[in-house]
Amino acid sequence: MAGIYIETFGCQMNEADSQYIADRATAAGYAIVAEPREASVVVLNTCTVRDNAERRAYGRMQHFRALKRADPSLKLVVCGCLAEQDRDTMQLVAPHVDAVFGTSELVRLGDALASWRPQFADDESSEERALTAAFGGTADCIVDRFSHLRAFVTVQRGCSYYCTFCIVPHVRGRFDHRPSAEILDEVRLALSSGAREIMLVGQTVNAYKDPASGADFAGLLETVAGLEGLERLTFVTSHPKDCTDRLAHAMGRLPNLNPRFHLPVQSGANSVLRRMNRKYTVEAYLERIAVFREQCPGWALTTDLIVGFPGETDDDFEQTLRLCERVKFAQAFMFVYSPRRGTPAALWEQVPSEVATQRLRRLIATVDGGVRAYHQAKVGTTVRALVQGPSRKDPSKIAARTVDNVTVVAYAGELDEDSFVAAPWIDVAVDDARVWGCSGRLVGMSKGFAGEATAVHIKETVDLLGVI
């Protein structure tokens, strides 16, 4: 059977697009494989939001050249934001790439997969394919025994806000909201395929408007949350400008909504926010999160932050630190500003990279204090979490994610993957907290989020060799 390997970089929009590609590929008769050497088609779904994402994608393209040399019938396909940005030059730089599909050409990509499929029918050569180089995955391969438990459903494409640092509107276009009936159908389909958690994704989901009825995101959330069979619902990303009281009230009312709100602030200085074209002030952000905290007490608030944006002074940066000390985010994605071709800020005078890197270090130290404290509060409690799969660092442990988006790991003992697929909600008694998450003991497993757990007794093995 022809195999397809899909490697995904970047945000949840790309994860959602990869899920679409995987669905089209399976419908066309491909098997999703976890190793590129087993594939007849390799798809690289790329990101260009920062320079290092772009460099990694080109690095992977070069890496796959050896596979292509070993089997010229292999098709290497590049899609996603970098493909859109460099569509005219990509095959000059990487001539072994067979096809490049921009962000609006996913359907065409799906059609191409279907048309290539007969070429690979009963193709034995993939088994015989001699490999000249070892391959290490640098990004998520989208399919394993557990990936169906979480489904990404796109509610909108593109973004019309044009933050002066951001490439997204340039490579994904302006807002294009999907009809809510289509969104609901896709959620139902994911639920019938075993999804336990639905993540509604878009660059600015809370700006959503149904194209026909004008219904807003709060309305969409309420409708999706009411669907039969839905266990947990979550969404990313929101923009502070579109945080209405109505949305906060809806969030507080829906019991199956995950208690985590991701609200990127980017900077704690008004002068920087203005030049970023973020359309809010620090005061407005604080006022919005006060309403959110009143309606959704105990939820995790997470954010994105950029340091070294053009013109950011020491004082501006100190204001960002003060904001983080005050808000105590449960998690933050922190970046050094990366100039993106075609965006306004790329043309402005840049902050020296040593200064930006130094600021990032200080910011991480400040934010991590709050993150660790958030995780520490779980020590001594038992948390329920949805399985993600064997821990990448230590496969004898199972990794899972709590509903407030904290990673937990626990020793899995004799339990195999089938047991975790059958009862994917695990109860972990938390013993230790780190910045990356928590570790503890697996004490129970449940088939449903709200179900009674079956008690689990795992004997920790002692590494005698380690003792000797």
Applying CB under 6 A, the residues found at the interface with ligand SAM are: 11, 49-50, 165-166, 168, 203-204, 237, 239, 264, 266, 304, 306, 335, 337-338, 340
Amino acid identity of residue 78, one-letter, is V
Residue 373: how many CB atoms within 10 A of its CB? 12
Least distance from C-beta 467 to ligand SAM, angstroms? Answer: 46
Classify residue 216 by its DSSP letter.
B
Among residues 451, 430, 450, the alpha carbon closest in space to that of 439 is found at 430
* Pairwise CA distance, residues 107 & 386, whole Å: 31
* Closer residue to ligand F3S, CB minimum distance, 159 or 187: 159
β-strand pairing of 382-390 with 397-402: antiparallel
What the block records as the tokens of 177 is 């909201």
Least distance from C-beta 269 to ligand F3S, angstroms? Answer: 17
The torsion defined by the Cα of 449, 452, 453 and 455, in degrees rounded to 10, comes to 180
* Closer residue to ligand F3S, CB minimum distance, 116 or 261: 261
* Closer residue to ligand SAM, CB minimum distance, 56 or 96: 56
All residues at 6 or more sequence positions from 106 whose CB lies less than 8 Å from its CB, including other chains: 17, 20, 21, 79
- Give the DSSP H or E segment for 157: strand 156-157
Residue 452: how many CB atoms within 10 A of its CB? 9
> Are 406 and 361 spatial neighbours (Cβ–Cβ below 8 Å)?
no
* Closer residue to ligand F3S, CB minimum distance, 159 or 409: 159
Least distance from C-beta 389 to ligand SAM, angstroms? Answer: 25
All residues at 6 or more sequence positions from 397 whose CB lies less than 8 Å from its CB, including other chains: 390, 391, 409, 410, 411, 412, 439
338 binds, among ligand F3S, ligand SAM, none (CB under 5 to 8 A by kind): ligand SAM
Least distance from C-beta 100 to ligand F3S, angstroms? Answer: 22
162 binds, among ligand F3S, ligand SAM, none (CB under 5 to 8 A by kind): ligand F3S
**Preceding peptide of 223 cis, ω within 30°:** no
All residues at 6 or more sequence positions from 182 whose CB lies less than 8 Å from its CB, including other chains: none
Binding site for ligand F3S (CB under 6 A): 159, 161-163, 166, 168-169, 203-204, 239
* Closer residue to ligand F3S, CB minimum distance, 9 or 161: 161
All residues at 6 or more sequence positions from 275 whose CB lies less than 8 Å from its CB, including other chains: 164, 309, 310, 311, 345, 348
Least distance from C-beta 204 to ligand SAM, angstroms? Answer: 5
438 binds, among ligand F3S, ligand SAM, none (CB under 5 to 8 A by kind): none
* Closer residue to ligand SAM, CB minimum distance, 11 or 191: 11
| Rg value, the chain, Cα | 23
* Closer residue to ligand SAM, CB minimum distance, 213 or 353: 353
* Pairwise CA distance, residues 445 & 426, whole Å: 4
335 binds, among ligand F3S, ligand SAM, none (CB under 5 to 8 A by kind): ligand SAM
304 binds, among ligand SAM, ligand F3S, none (CB under 5 to 8 A by kind): ligand SAM
* Closer residue to ligand SAM, CB minimum distance, 51 or 431: 51
All residues at 6 or more sequence positions from 211 whose CB lies less than 8 Å from its CB, including other chains: 177, 178, 179
- Give the DSSP H or E segment for 361: helix 353-376
* Closer residue to ligand SAM, CB minimum distance, 218 or 236: 236
* Closer residue to ligand SAM, CB minimum distance, 219 or 240: 240
Least distance from C-beta 231 to ligand SAM, angstroms? Answer: 26
Q: CA geometry: angle at 260 spanning 254 and 264, to 5°?
A: 125
Least distance from C-beta 114 to ligand SAM, angstroms? Answer: 30
25 binds, among ligand F3S, ligand SAM, none (CB under 5 to 8 A by kind): none
